[in-house]
Structure 1
Amino acid sequence: MVKIESFEKQPPILKEVTVTLHYHRYDNDYDGWNLWVWLEGEPGRMVEFSQEDSYGKVAVFTLQSPDEIKRVGFIIRKSTAEDDWAGKRFDDRFITSFDRSGKAEVWLMQGMERIYERVNDVTVFPGIISAKIDKWDEITVLTNLSFDWKHDNLQVSLDGAEIKKIRAEKDHAGSDLANRLVIKTKNRLSLTKKYQVNISHFGYCEVTFGDIMRTKKFDQLFNYDGFLGADYSPEQTFFSVWSPPAQEVEVKIFMNDQIHLYNMQQANCGAWHLNLPGDWDGAQYLYRVRIGKEWRETQDPYAKAVSVNGMRSAVINMKKTRPLSWKKSARTLSSPVDAVIYELHIRDATIHPDSGTFNKGKYLGLAEEGTTTTHGFSTGLDYLAELGVTHIQLLPFFDYWTVDETKLDQPQYNWGYDPKHFNAPEGSYSTDPHNPALRIKELKTLIQAIHDRGMSVIMDVVYNHVYDVSRSPFHQLVPGYYFRYAKNGKLSNGTGVGNDTASERAMMRRFIVDSLVYWATEYQIDGFRFDLMGIHDVETMIAARKALDQVSPSIIMLGEGWDLQTALPDHLKANQHQAGQMKGIAHFNDALRDHLKGNTFSKQDNGFINGRIGMRHHLLQGVSAGMKVPYDRKTFTSPEQVVNYAEAHDNHTLWDKISFTSPNASMSDHKRMHRLATSIVLLSQGIPFLHAGQEFMRTKFGVENSYRSPDDINKLDWHRREEFSQTVQYVKGLIKLRKEHPAFRMRTKEEVIEHMHFHPTDERLIAYDLIADHGPYAKYTVIHNAHGSPIKYHLDSEGPWHVLSDGIQADSKPLSVLRSDLVNVSRHSTCVLALPFSSVDMRE
């Protein structure tokens, strides 16, 4: 037990840092070795080892930045006259600890990835760093000291198995030195038996698991199905963690200014347990694991609560986190096509100066009732309830990395696609991120406020990658297991952010499913949007659907089913091409998005609404959800699998896209194109999806990827909501029309094929009938006019037709009555007409 004298003071903001880096090579060969150093977002530069001391070579360098410096990246590399990057030691490493004056001093050792902050912590004696089973008959041994295999006469033995042969893997081509041995055994190694490698002068090391963890046999033997995490009760807390390669595991607990250290006991299938008597509510903890010779300290991947910036896991009495009004979600949705999804960032929603909220940018701010602008226009949840959307899809609100929760008085912004802790809420949206329980209660308060207004909550989940593999609890506890690797041994990078999680492995799949069920039950989440869902495998998504069905079949699952280049066979990827295998899981329809307005990755490319010819066939596919006019490669099996949208949080807003593609068009035409696109989304078969502010033509002033842009770019502009109130009313009317007329929400492919009929038109016109079996109308005729001028369209009868939308107004009830077989359709607009059953009966 160690007494903590005082809490850490607030660190200063550093814009200049000086690093002293000591480097020791056992082979004493420093020729050509140098540093490549950089700051995030800035170019790197070379630094030479220009000094030396009794430890080895020394490099001293200073870096400056106009922004705050949080870490310094470096690589130790070997340069030759021909190649500056002839060799390197390890990949990117980072120095993160600086004193208050911006100085850092670190020590590095040849063959060791660890960065030492004290020279006395460095082991300078020969030793074995690790011994890992990489193949069924191979153990890879890593030493801290390079050796000459031919001349040093090392004696190697293996307890528990018989050696067939040994080979040394040289440091680099042409070198006689090595620090890696591969021991090949005569017989197949066992995953349940203990082995020990012994090398003369280097000592011994227990054998643990390496690449062998990425085999099906490993999953079969170590697929643990017991409880994981910290299970609290007033009498005791049960800790359980999964770490098959560990030789020892401890729980380090911080409570009442004291530190406690407890040994955990090894259980079955690689799990470690500790049952700790007493009331530990509010305690913070870390796991300490010894793998081979190395001790690692990390958070709990199953943590339900975390300290500020997620530095520690926390034990919480979850009953105390429930608001007084907390109750179970009704979850009455009978089909996903009945949903109207509205994607919203928590901070964006209320940070505007005239949002009318007190807790701006917070969970509680969005939960506030009766918020209005100074002119009396509703904002926040009241406004969204009036608009008529059914589901609010919140951008990530699990704990993420890149907003410093200790400096919330400074400008910071992120969307949250940089996961740190998947099962605990983000602290920057809380009124006190230092209180692990409060952020949970405040998030639940927001969720309850949404439910109380008759709407549901979809959670944006990002299980496809982590922000920092090396510091991830997954990698610290079971290095090499939770992530996908390419054939060259490097991390797979289909996500484009440096790593892909390996959902196909049993315990990663289990984690994803456990996490989803936890959010659905503890927080009453009504749906999940999967970021880069195509990274995951089909079996995992099916397992998730099955598990959530046990909670409630009405829980929506939707995701980005893109075909991504991850290290997984194509037929296993959970993308649009495998949609037919994943019933009950919807996919974003990028085809409709791009053919509607132009390719989203090109500023100048246009589509149906902004003047491009040749889009009609693709629009027929889009408005029928690919049911009536099938997509060429996608395998959607029902409208319930198709999410139609024109814009989302990433890439340009629809307004900005139209501005780029039609710079010479009038403001009036920009508005008309925008309304046309939004009406197509809301009236198509499938699930409609709106980006926050789309209904008042949101702009980000041309910024495409605003994930860390300031509030001025990202905030919902409630004054614009006032300015474009007519369009808000139009969208509100379209939503009402959709919700009250089932013909726009057909459930099955067969229904769409039987009840949707397209009319022959020119390339800039889409016209179709929807035949109804019941309700006030026998038939609806929908006309989407992308012409830059009005058109006259011939109907198949003189009606009387009830006009439900004229491109400026929309409602579920008639705006007017047309007694003619000729209708005028304004330029860039949507017209919806309905033929009452009584009219059909009279004609018959």
Structure 2
Amino acid sequence: MNLDPSHPEGEVWTYQTDVELPAGFYEYKYYVTFRDGGKRFVGDPCARYGGTENQNSAFVIGGSRPAGNTVTQVVGGRKSLRDLVIYELMIDDFTDEYRGYRAPLRAVVDKLDYLKSTLGINAILFLPWTAWPNPRFNWGYIPYQYFSVEFRYTNDLNAPAEKLSLLKKLITECHQRGIHVIMDGVFNHIGDVEPEEELANGFPYRWLYQDPQDCPFVGRFGGLFPGLVDLDYNNTCTQEFIEDVCRYWIDNFNIDGIRFDNTPNYWINDDERGLPTLLKSIRTHVPDLNFSLTLEHLSFEASYVVNQTKASSYWNNGLWQLCFEQLQNGSLKSSIVGALNTHVGLEGDRVATLYISNHDHSHVAWQAGVRAASREYKGSLLWYRTQPYAIALFTSPGVPMIQNGQEFAEDYWLMEDDEGSARRVKPRPLRWDFQSDNIGKQLLPIYAKLIEIRLNHPSLRSDNFYPSKWEDWQTQFDPEGYGVSSENQLLIYHRWGSTSTGTLERFIVVLNFSDSDRIVDVPFPDNGNWQDLLDGRSVNVSNYKLLGWKVTSNWGNIFFK
């Protein structure tokens, strides 16, 4: 072993083998001897490759050269977060049905043209791709090697020496199609378990200490994550380590944003350590405001935290909660107005990210078939009940996000609380033939149309929303005819804004959440011809009303002028 104490990153140890290593994938561990005579195999916390088993680290000899795997910028440059439609993609589930023996990262590329050209999205949020501590299926939220892409995602029998290059090629393929790539970063806790004999399991830094409890990287900072080990931002080494992790993925893979998992646990009000310093460091490193920083801060203080930090957005659970509750109970709550007016509480160009389902929950199509009163469980057979929620999603302020498979009514059930049994995280492989069955071939074009409308009309991405104030006790339309009619399960709201050329765009959105057609007088801010963007029909409005309008059950209208 040779020591170089002059390296700009600190002391660096190197080792040269006695023989030349042929091309291949090599796994290794450090064998550490402690002062008390104890010995332990420990992984490399800075390894760029995760091994096949036992939390090994790895390196590659041969294969393509790093210089040949540079990642291009997204075509046309990064867009503002509010101009994106995000597709939440779980790499394993997404490719399970068709990848064969190829690496999942390679197989994702097969569907990029579908995502861009058929569906129309322009951003992908990839569930975590950093390595987790075992070879089994995982969502990725228990990281242990932060600089390593998960081996399960890179294992390609036809090209064993290609690993990180596959992720770079995937991101480049996305960028060439104008698709932003958002990384899911898990920086609150790590995956770690007690060692088996001399074999350390999980986060390597912890096991490099004779007594793992002495490791300054782990410990209580803010909240606690049951069953996992939390990172301790009381200590500068932890702060700097996670900042280095973010810079690594930003600089080497040209990602376009980061979604920060479980941020309440490393946020303490009036304390700059943890989340505030991390966000500030990233924003200093990437001053481009179109590089998005989104928080999973599922608490009442989320908008406050976004305003107080360098964050761009936060996950807003409001629409999802009402969607799932109302689908089950067959009702419409007046609080849906507030759930759609998501810019309330946010300052400047900050926006909320909203959805009607994500990886943490059952697919919304499954929820559509749940009827609490009659105890019916028909799943996606009642897919059409999700339509007004989808229209609301794409016509509200904020950033719309859809879960992979949502667009063709994938319908897996997922328990909301496994009570510590560890049974929530399970495979939900997409069934791609659903695209063309009797349900998928009806729903997919609807999502494609809604995404097209959203991206073609910048004013739908504005913060303007009326009625801007609505109390939960208001269960009938206001005197003008806007708001909620709980009895009839109708919702009417106004959206507006200007295009890049200064042209005023106006929208009246009428939604029917009931299973029956409804007749309603629709208010308008202007007379004349308005076009329904969903079916192309034009209506003529006089006296600022469209009288006796029929709204189809579980459907709606997006009137545009």
TM-score, normalised relative to structure 1:
0.54
Of residues 246, 249, 253, the one that matches 1:516 is: 246
User: How far does residue 791 in structure 1 lie from its aligned partner after superposition?
Assistant: 2.1
Separation (CA, whole Å) in 1 of partners of 2:378 and 2:432? 24
Once the two structures are superposed, residues 27-85 of structure 1 have per-residue CA deviations (whole angstroms, 9 ceiling, x without a partner) of xxxxxxxxxxxxxxxxxxxxxxxxxxxxxxxxxxxxxxxxxxxxxxxxxxxxxxxxxxx
Residue aligning to 1:366: 108
User: How far does residue 519 in structure 1 lie from its aligned partner after superposition?
Assistant: 0.8
1:657 aligns with 2:405: no
Residue aligning to 2:95: 350
1:672 aligns with 2:397: no
Residue aligning to 2:130: 398
The alignment partner of 2:485 has SS state of coil
Matched AA of 1:544 = L
Residue aligning to 2:257: 527
Of residues 272, 291, 295, the one that matches 1:559 is: 295
1:695 aligns with 2:407: yes
Asked whether the equivalents of residues 380 and 409 of structure 2 are also in contact (C-alpha less than 8 Å), the reply is no
Residue aligning to 2:475: none
Seen in structure 2, the aligned counterparts of structure 1 residues 761 and 753 have a Cα distance that, compared at 3 Å, is closer
Separation (CA, whole Å) in 1 of partners of 2:349 and 2:365? 27
The alignment partner of 1:428 has SS state of helix
Which moves more between the two structures, 784-793 or 290-299?
290-299
The alignment partner of 2:189 has SS state of coil
Aligned residues: 507
Of residues 807, 819, 844, the one that matches 2:540 is: 819
The alignment partner of 2:128 has SS state of coil
Asked whether the equivalents of residues 494 and 535 of structure 1 are also in contact (C-alpha less than 8 Å), the reply is yes
Asked whether the equivalents of residues 563 and 576 of structure 1 are also in contact (C-alpha less than 8 Å), the reply is no
1:741 aligns with 2:457: yes
User: How far does residue 456 in structure 1 lie from its aligned partner after superposition?
Assistant: 1.7
Give the strand-richer structure, 1 or 2: 1
Once the two structures are superposed, residues 493-547 of structure 1 have per-residue CA deviations (whole angstroms, 9 ceiling, x without a partner) of 7222232112342111111111111111211222222221222236433333334
Asked whether the equivalents of residues 653 and 698 of structure 1 are also in contact (C-alpha less than 8 Å), the reply is yes
User: How far does residue 804 in structure 1 lie from its aligned partner after superposition?
Assistant: 0.8
Structure 2: state its 5+ residue gaps.
Answer: 195-200, 471-477
Asked whether the equivalents of residues 101 and 156 of structure 2 are also in contact (C-alpha less than 8 Å), the reply is no
1:327 aligns with 2:72: yes
User: How far does residue 581 in structure 1 lie from its aligned partner after superposition?
Assistant: 0.8
Of residues 137, 140, 143, the one that matches 1:416 is: 140
The alignment partner of 1:824 has SS state of strand
Query: After the TM superposition, which residues 225-624 of structure 1 pair with which residues of structure 2 at under 5 Å, given as runs?
Result: 262=1, 264=3, 272-274=11-13, 286-289=29-32, 292-293=35-36, 294-309=38-53, 310-314=55-59, 320-321=65-66, 326-330=71-75, 332-352=77-97, 355=98, 359=101, 362-368=104-110, 380-386=111-117, 387-403=119-135, 413-432=137-156, 437-468=161-192, 470=194, 471=201, 472-478=203-209, 479-485=214-220, 494-537=224-267, 539=272, 540-549=274-283, 550-551=285-286, 552-563=288-299, 577-598=304-325, 607=326, 611-613=330-332, 615-616=333-334, 618-624=335-341
Once the two structures are superposed, residues 110-139 of structure 1 have per-residue CA deviations (whole angstroms, 9 ceiling, x without a partner) of xxxxxxxxxxxxxxxxxxxxxxxxxxxxxx
Seen in structure 2, the aligned counterparts of structure 1 residues 674 and 702 have a Cα distance that, compared at 3 Å, is same
Query: After the TM superposition, which residues 797-812 of structure 1 pair with which residues of structure 2 at under 5 Å, given as runs?
Result: 798-805=527-534
Separation (CA, whole Å) in 2 of partners of 1:481 and 1:502? 7
Once the two structures are superposed, residues 764-790 of structure 1 have per-residue CA deviations (whole angstroms, 9 ceiling, x without a partner) of 332121233346664210122223322
Which moves more between the two structures, 683-692 or 531-540?
531-540
Matched AA of 1:348 = D
Asked whether the equivalents of residues 626 and 636 of structure 1 are also in contact (C-alpha less than 8 Å), the reply is yes
The alignment partner of 1:593 has SS state of helix
Separation (CA, whole Å) in 1 of partners of 2:349 and 2:320? 16
User: How far does residue 423 in structure 1 lie from its aligned partner after superposition?
Assistant: 0.9
The alignment partner of 1:800 has SS state of strand
The alignment partner of 2:113 has SS state of helix
Once the two structures are superposed, residues 374-399 of structure 1 have per-residue CA deviations (whole angstroms, 9 ceiling, x without a partner) of xxxxxx22211121111111122111
Asked whether the equivalents of residues 187 and 231 of structure 2 are also in contact (C-alpha less than 8 Å), the reply is yes
Asked whether the equivalents of residues 460 and 496 of structure 2 are also in contact (C-alpha less than 8 Å), the reply is no
Calculate percent identity across the aligned residue pairs.
22
Residue aligning to 1:632: none
Separation (CA, whole Å) in 2 of partners of 1:514 and 1:500? 18
> RMSD between aligned alpha carbons?
3.7
Asked whether the equivalents of residues 306 and 436 of structure 1 are also in contact (C-alpha less than 8 Å), the reply is no
Asked whether the equivalents of residues 339 and 687 of structure 1 are also in contact (C-alpha less than 8 Å), the reply is yes
Asked whether the equivalents of residues 467 and 483 of structure 2 are also in contact (C-alpha less than 8 Å), the reply is no
Query: After the TM superposition, which residues 146-225 of structure 1 pair with which residues of structure 2 at under 5 Å, given as runs?
Result: none
Of residues 487, 497, 507, the one that matches 1:780 is: 507
Separation (CA, whole Å) in 1 of partners of 2:159 and 2:43? 17
Matched AA of 2:279 = R
The alignment partner of 1:334 has SS state of coil
Separation (CA, whole Å) in 1 of partners of 2:73 and 2:493? 42
Matched AA of 2:485 = D
1:683 aligns with 2:395: yes
Asked whether the equivalents of residues 260 and 295 of structure 2 are also in contact (C-alpha less than 8 Å), the reply is yes
Separation (CA, whole Å) in 1 of partners of 2:67 and 2:445? 36
Seen in structure 2, the aligned counterparts of structure 1 residues 638 and 546 have a Cα distance that, compared at 3 Å, is same
Asked whether the equivalents of residues 280 and 310 of structure 2 are also in contact (C-alpha less than 8 Å), the reply is no
Separation (CA, whole Å) in 2 of partners of 1:826 and 1:541? 46
User: How far does residue 647 in structure 1 lie from its aligned partner after superposition?
Assistant: 0.7
Matched AA of 2:318 = A
Separation (CA, whole Å) in 2 of partners of 1:303 and 1:668? 44
User: How far does residue 292 in structure 1 lie from its aligned partner after superposition?
Assistant: 4.0
Separation (CA, whole Å) in 1 of partners of 2:247 and 2:450? 34
Asked whether the equivalents of residues 755 and 772 of structure 1 are also in contact (C-alpha less than 8 Å), the reply is no
Matched AA of 1:482 = F
Matched AA of 2:442 = Q
Matched AA of 1:679 = I
Once the two structures are superposed, residues 234-268 of structure 1 have per-residue CA deviations (whole angstroms, 9 ceiling, x without a partner) of xxxxxxxxxxxxxxxxxxxxxxxxxxxx2658899
Identify which of structures 1 and 2 has the higher relative contact order when contacts are C-alpha pairs closer than 8 Å and 6+ apart: 2
Seen in structure 2, the aligned counterparts of structure 1 residues 507 and 773 have a Cα distance that, compared at 3 Å, is same
Asked whether the equivalents of residues 423 and 515 of structure 1 are also in contact (C-alpha less than 8 Å), the reply is yes
Asked whether the equivalents of residues 75 and 177 of structure 2 are also in contact (C-alpha less than 8 Å), the reply is no
Matched AA of 1:459 = M
Residue aligning to 2:197: none
The alignment partner of 1:459 has SS state of strand
Seen in structure 2, the aligned counterparts of structure 1 residues 326 and 268 have a Cα distance that, compared at 3 Å, is closer
Which protein is bigger by CA-based radius of gyration?
A: 1
Asked whether the equivalents of residues 531 and 537 of structure 2 are also in contact (C-alpha less than 8 Å), the reply is yes
Seen in structure 2, the aligned counterparts of structure 1 residues 609 and 639 have a Cα distance that, compared at 3 Å, is farther
Separation (CA, whole Å) in 2 of partners of 1:295 and 1:434? 37
User: How far does residue 333 in structure 1 lie from its aligned partner after superposition?
Assistant: 3.1
Seen in structure 2, the aligned counterparts of structure 1 residues 676 and 638 have a Cα distance that, compared at 3 Å, is farther
Matched AA of 2:255 = I
